[in-house]
A and B are shown apart, each in its own frame.
Chain A
């Protein structure tokens, strides 16, 4: 135990109660006293400390500048030096302290002692480090957010530019079916601005009608609202007429749901004014109708004149002359059929814009088919047999005229290429999303090498030409175009000499494709 003077010994008792490290050195920094906390702090005992310099024990680990500053402050300026210092304990552990070195001066302003107080700031330092780390992390997050925000701004600006510059009208509804946004073109086309009320005011605001019947469109058939339910509507045609569009306009609308997390959170429709195209289409259709009439007139004239001769109306016809008349009649029939089918192709290839669809029941369809085909079938004593099960419950949403046309074409082929007295079997099968019509004959079949080509324009299979020389080669081509027009397709299976089965596959719900239909 060191021996202190009496005053110091009394003070020392108090100093030992301090939690902070306290040492006293002489003016040369030799330790003459250290409290218990100093021992604990540094790991050195008082005996090890006495007479030594702190710099040799736990200190001396800072930069030269640190000690230069310290010397200047305590020796020259003779003021307290307070700074954070990193020390090393006897066992090698590093620790941070807040160091206070206070010079003690005598009356002559000379340094007698130094008091060294150190407060543990390791925890404080750790907190500081944690705070810095957190600040850095927060700053990173902020930077990321800013980047995202900038990206979003760019994307938004891009969409706004597209929205405004696109030549079509765009309309957006929210999940409640209320209109939220129009671009300028939308307002221009519809003649009216954004009607934010619920959809039941759309009819009175904009005047939306069926393009064929001109009846008001019911709410559940508005493309934007149908899209909201998940259906994608493509090129639906509407007629718009209101006080700002007094003569009316035809518009073509495509509507898509806006999907968010698997649900429709709104829908967007793009539409454009097709009045001009409609007019062109009408002119073309009128022209084709007139052309077909003009072409048919001389052909039907020849037909009836020959009929008249052949019937014997103008007197008996000698055999050789009858033969010639038969040939002329046959050629004429070929012309009639060719004209008819070429006009069909022209109409189909020019693209009819509206294909009206309706609910078709199987019994009605088959009744009409049988009526049409009976004459031709009876002529060859061919039986048409319908083996559809549960016909009464089957319905399909499609265009009756086109559907009938396709089936008639297929049945007509079956009759033409079957032998006398044979049977043709018609069937209808219902699948999950489609209906498959099949027409099965036991006729001449289609040679394997030619099967790929029978849908081509004007193509006639070699055996078909022999059986039915008057065919035009357009029948299946037209049927396939028609089938496509109503969203379906035609396929077949055939064994030459044994027969052919033709299939017409149609989607049950008509012309529209469903988006989020989980069953497909």
Chain B
């Protein structure tokens, strides 16, 4: 009986842990091994397999070859996060504080586009942003936009596409944390002679930081690795690291390089987020989450 009780936690977390081990740890390990291998010399096209050679220079080679795309992806993702935060915060605030009984309806409306496939939505954006399409040709005709205006193929198009796809992932965490703000605290602040601006800046905003952090995680990380938006909306100078990994893996079949790229991305993101969490104050986040 006592043994069963001591083993119970393992039994309960077992399936989850097993899933993580099989579908996360083992593939990660296999990829790590692959990134350190070099292909055996081939005759013609005959595949000779790979040989484990502790080929750490693969990582420096990957960085020197593709650091431009790495930095570009980080910059784009940063802009996307900032844009979605600026757009999403008022929306979440409004739903949380002024939503009343219709809150779930509003949330459902925000999630509605997700019933349509991700790729189809990006294709719809291609249609909307095309220079000869309905939107721009009419705007050009009434001289709101200059002739020859085009946005498809520019970084703006790619960033807009990613921001559009990431917006619900920013709004929902923000809504959750704003929902949890105790209304009594807000009322107390205004009782103590705080103006509504001060109430927001000094009470509500700090209390919603866990939501901002969660929204940042859910937006930034997928945005860095995004490749669909560049494929459909991008141009010649907007290639992101996701496209590079896809090309190296599928087109060039350079598995070691692609694995190294994926690992650099993963480790870089982890370190960046750890630093960010420290700066924001993890204790606060732990307390509230």
Whether A and B are associated in the same complex: the answer reads no
